[in-house]
Structure 1
Amino acid sequence: MPKRALVPYGLEGTDLMEGDPARRAPDGRLDEFLYVVGQLAWRPDAGLQGVVDWLHRQLGREIALIDSAGAVELSTPRFPEEALVPLGPMLTRLTTGRMSSAATEIGAVHLRLEAVGTESPRRVLVLAGPTGLSPRASSLASHTGSVISILHRARTADTALHGYQEKAHQLRVALFMALMAGDTVLARRMTTGAVPALLECDRVRVHLLRCPPEDRDRLARVHQDSSGYHGRGLMVRCPVYDEHLICLIAEDDGPGDGQGRGPGAPDGPGDLGGALRELVGEHPRYALGISGAHPLRATAEAYEQARHALAVAGNAPGRVAGYRGQEPLERLLPRDAAVGWARSLLRPLRSLPALTVETTRLAMHFPRSGVADLLGISRNTVTAHLHRAEDALGVDLRDVRSRATVALALAVSGLHQDTEPVAGGTDVPGADSLFRTPAAAAWAEGFLEPLEGAGHRRVRTTLRTWIETNTDAQRTARSLGNSRTTVTAHLRTAERLLNRDLLATGSGVHDLVYAFGLLGEIPLAPDRAP
Structure 2
Amino acid sequence: MAGQRGGRGGGRAADAETPTWARELLDHLRPTGRDVRKVVAWLAETVHGTAVLQDDSGTLVAGTPMPLDESLVAGILTGRLASAATEEGGSHLRLVRVEHPDPASAGAGVLAVARPEPFDRRTSDILTHTVQVLELLLRARETTEAGRRLKRATSDLRLAILQLLMVEDTVSARRVAAGLWPGLLDTDTACVYVLEGDAAERDRLAEECLGVTGDRALVVRCPAMDGHVIIVTTGEAAGAALRSLVDRTPGTLLGGSARQSLARTATAYGQAVSALAVARVRPDKAALYAERNRPERLMDPAALRAWTARLLRPLDALPHHTRAELLATTRLGLEFTAVSAAKVLGVSRNTVRARMERVESLLRTDFTDLAVRATVHLALSTQVSLADGQDENGGTRQPRARLDDLLAGPALETWARELLGRLDSDARDLRRTLRSWIAAGGNAERAARALAVHAQTVRDHVRSAEPVLERRLLASGGDLYEVVLAHLATGELAHPDLPRDEQGYPDHPDHPGDPGHPGDSGAPVHG
Q: Do they superpose with TM above 0.5?
A: yes
| Residue 409 (structure 2) aligns with | 437
* Structure 1: distance between partners of 2:355 and 2:77: 54
Contact 2:259–2:268 (8 Å) recurs in 1: yes
Aligned ranges for residues 471-510 of structure 1 at < 5 Å?
471-510=442-481
Question: Could you tell me whether the CA contact under 8 Å between 1:346 and 1:393 is conserved in 2?
Answer: yes
1:244 aligned to 2:228?
Answer: yes
Seen in structure 2, the aligned counterparts of structure 1 residues 487 and 222 have a Cα distance that, compared at 3 Å, is: same
Residue 193 of structure 1 is matched in structure 2 by 179
**Aligned partner of 1:317: which letter?**
P
1:425 deviation in Å? 4.5
Which of 323, 331, 336 does residue 361 from structure 1 map onto? 331
In structure 2, the CA distance between the partners of 1:422 and 1:36, relative to structure 1 (3 Å rule), is same
If the length of structure 2 is used for normalisation, what is the TM-score? 0.79
| Change in 2 beyond 3 A, CA 1:387/1:187 | closer
Match of residue 483, structure 2, among 505, 512, 525? 512
1:388 positional shift = 2.6
Work out whether residues 309 and 500 of structure 1, in 8 Å CA contact, stay in contact via their aligned partners in 2: no
Task: Work out whether 1:382 is the aligned partner of 2:352.
Answer: yes
Per-residue Cα deviation, 1:396-436 (whole angstroms, up to 9, x for no partner): 11111111111111111111113568545576310122232
Query: What is the deviation of 1:102?
Result: 3.0
- Read off the aligned partner of 1:440 and give its amino acid letter: L
Greater mean alpha carbon deviation, residues 407-416 or residues 139-148: 139-148
In 2, Cα distance between equivalents of 1:336 and 1:105: 94
Distance 1:507 1:340, change over 3 A: closer
| SS at 1:470 equivalent | coil
- Label 1:293 to 1:402 Cα distance change in 2 as closer, same or farther (>3 A): same
- Whichever residue aligns with residue 330 of structure 2, its letter is T
- Counterpart amino acid of residue 416 in structure 2: A
- Does residue 523 (structure 1) correspond to residue 494 (structure 2)? The answer is yes
Q: Which residue is 2:46 aligned to?
A: 58
Residue pairs, 1:196-345, within 5 angstroms:
198-200=184-186, 204-224=190-210, 230-252=214-236, 265=240, 271-279=241-249, 282-283=250-251, 286-317=252-283, 319-324=285-290, 326-345=292-311
Q: Is the 8 A contact 2:47 2:115 kept in 1?
A: no
The equivalent residue for 1:8 is: none
Describe the shift of the 1:440–1:395 C-alpha distance in structure 2 as closer, same or farther (beyond 3 A). Answer: same
Write out aligned runs for 1:25-104 (5 A).
29=21, 32-38=24-30, 48-76=36-64, 81-82=66-67, 84-85=68-69, 88-104=70-86
**Pair 1:154-2:162 in alignment:** no
Alpha-carbon distance in 1 for matches of 2:260, 2:206: 23
**Unaligned stretches of 5+ in structure 2?**
1-15, 501-506, 508-527
Give, in whole Å, the separation in 2 of the partners of 1:296 and 1:388: 26
Pair 1:464 & 2:435 matched = yes
C-alpha offsets along residues 5-61 of structure 1, whole Å, 9 cap, x if unaligned? xxxxxxxxxxxxxxxxxxx9957545544554547766xxxx732111111121112
- SS of match in other structure, 2:365: coil
1:60-94 CA distance string (max 9 Å, x none):
12211122023544333xx6x33x13xx2332232
Give distance in 2, aligned partners of 1:273 and 1:433: 43
Deviation at 1:109, TM superposition (A): 2.6
Please say which of residues 512-521 and 331-340 is displaced more in the overlay: 331-340
Which residue does 1:406 correspond to in 2? 376
SS of the aligned residue for 1:144 comes to: helix
Residues 95 and 382 from structure 1, CA distance in 2 versus in 1: closer, same or farther, beyond 3 angstroms? same
Partner of 1:209, secondary structure, is strand
Residue type of the alignment partner of 2:138? H
The TM-score normalised by the length of structure 1 is 0.79
How far residue 128 of structure 1 moved from its aligned partner, in angstroms, is 1.4
Indicate conservation of the 8 Å contact 2:222/2:344, yes or no: no
Contact 1:70/1:91 (8 A) holds in 2: no
- Report the CA distance between 1:201 and its aligned residue: 6.1
Structure 2 Cα separation of the partners of residues 209 and 62 of structure 1 = 53
**Equivalents in 2 of 1:25, 1:442: separation in Å?**
93
Q: How big is the shift at 1:452?
A: 5.3
Indicate conservation of the 8 Å contact 2:255/2:288, yes or no: yes
Contact 1:65 1:126 in 2 (8 A): yes
The share of aligned pairs that are identical, in percent, is: 34
Deviation per residue, 1:191-213 (Å, 9 max, x gap): 22333564356754433222333
Write the letter of the residue equivalent to 1:145.
V
8 Å contact kept, 1:188–1:195: no
Q: Deviations over 1:345-396 (max 9, x none)?
A: 1112234544544433332112122233344444334333333322221111
Distance 2:76 2:446 in 1: 75
Structure 1 portions without partners, runs of 5+: 1-23, 254-259, 266-270
CA RMSD of aligned residues (A): 3.3
